[in-house]
Amino acid sequence: MKIATYNINGIKARLPRLKEWLTETRPAVACLQEVKSQDKDFPAAEFEELGYQPIWHGQKSFNGVAILADTKAGYSVQEVKRGLGIDGPKEGEGEQSRYLEADIVKDGANGTERTRIVCIYLPNGNPLPGPKFDYKIAWMEKLRARMLEIWAEEIPAAVLGDYNVIPEDDDVFAVKAMASDALMQPESRSAYARLLADGWCDAVRTLNPRGGVWTYWDYQAGAWQRDHGFRIDHILLSPELADRLVAVGVDKEHRGREKASDHAPTWATLRDN
DNA sequence: ATGACTAATAGCATTAGA
């Protein structure tokens, strides 16, 4: 079972690239972030034609998350929860669309297999200090509380998405370049480290203990051409899924295509039960 | 150096991203 996360940076602008990626790599589950469209504009039929069942939590202009399940491979998606119940950083703004939780279901000879999949788009947190950074840290605390609830259920679970956290110094091309950024502040890192301390397994780090894996390259200053990237898209696994971890990867080649997102798809494959 | 790109929405710029 291959599970993937991909910050697509606008579904309208990215649809041809996204469909290409789904067709070429065929993940069982795809978590999408920065959909940047309202619910009514989500192109559900485009995914259904490819053999994917989508659920989505949209928002006008920015944010927005979605989960796709490969129906051709026998998977379906059942929504469990949307939103963490935390308001955005602006006065009276209400909640932003950053959290979508679902069960991926597959019927087999040995009964029904259920995998909890959580798709997150964690707040960026810049500039700092300020309300946006405070919001990021508060959001991470809310996320941790929800992840502890899921942990207590003792179910196979994965929390995938754009965490907007560079966990370690070897997850960035140059520490100095990002030192003052919200992505690698001590508070951001320690909030992420707490998730790992709770027992969640960082899949990409586990199979790449020396770091040096990037999932994002800025559009600016020739970052892609110079390989000036960093790792902020993460796949966290419960013990049940960590035991089944086979491989991880970043579909880096897709970052180099025409009209690409600034993130690359990041995936993990899990052994079948 | 708060620049450099890119996307969305509403325009003849601004907000947001990271």
Q: pLDDT (tens digit, 9 = 90+) per residue, A59-80?
A: 999 999 999 999 999 999 999 9
Taking the C1' atom of every nucleotide in all shown strands and the CA of A221, the nearest one is: B4
Verify if strand B has an atom below 7 Å from the CB of A132: yes
pTM of the model: 0.97
Verify if strand B has an atom below 7 Å from the CB of A225: no
Residue A132 CB partners (closer than 8 Å, separation 6+): A89, A123, A124, A125, A126, A182
- Report residues 241-260 of A contacting strand B, contact meaning Cβ closer than 7 Å: 259
Provide the CA A62 to C1' B10 distance, Å, integer. 15
Question: How many percent of chain A have pLDDT more than 90?
Answer: 97
Predicted local confidence at residue A200, as pLDDT: 98
Predicted local confidence at residue A121, as pLDDT: 98
pLDDT confidence tier of residue A264, bands split at 50, 70 and 90:
very high
Verify if strand B has an atom below 7 Å from the CB of A185: no
Q: What is the mean pLDDT of residues A73-95?
A: 95
Q: Decide if pLDDT at A205 tops 90.
A: yes
Provide the CA A269 to C1' B3 distance, Å, integer. 41
If DSSP states are collapsed to H, E and C, what string results for A25-70? HCCCEEEEECCCCCHHHCCHHHHHHCCEEEEEECCCCCCCEEEEEE
Q: Decide if pLDDT at A225 tops 90.
A: yes
Q: Decide if pLDDT at A92 tops 90.
A: no
Q: Decide if pLDDT at A91 tops 90.
A: no
Verify if strand B has an atom below 7 Å from the CB of A226: no
DSSP state string for A139-175: HHHHHHHHHHHHHHHT--EEEEEE-----SGGGBS-H
Q: What is the mean pLDDT of residues A96-109?
A: 96
Q: Decide if pLDDT at A25 tops 90.
A: yes
Verify if strand B has an atom below 7 Å from the CB of A36: yes
Q: Decide if pLDDT at A192 tops 90.
A: yes
Give the integer Cα–Cα distance in Å for A120 and A66.
9
How confident is the model over A157-189, as pLDDT tens digits?
A: 999 999 999 999 999 999 999 999 999 999 999
Mean confidence (pLDDT) of chain A:
97
Predicted local confidence at residue A110, as pLDDT: 85
Taking the C1' atom of every nucleotide in all shown strands and the CA of A14, the nearest one is: B7
Query: Which residue, among A66, A63, A75, has the nearest Cα to A46 in the 3D structure?
Result: A66
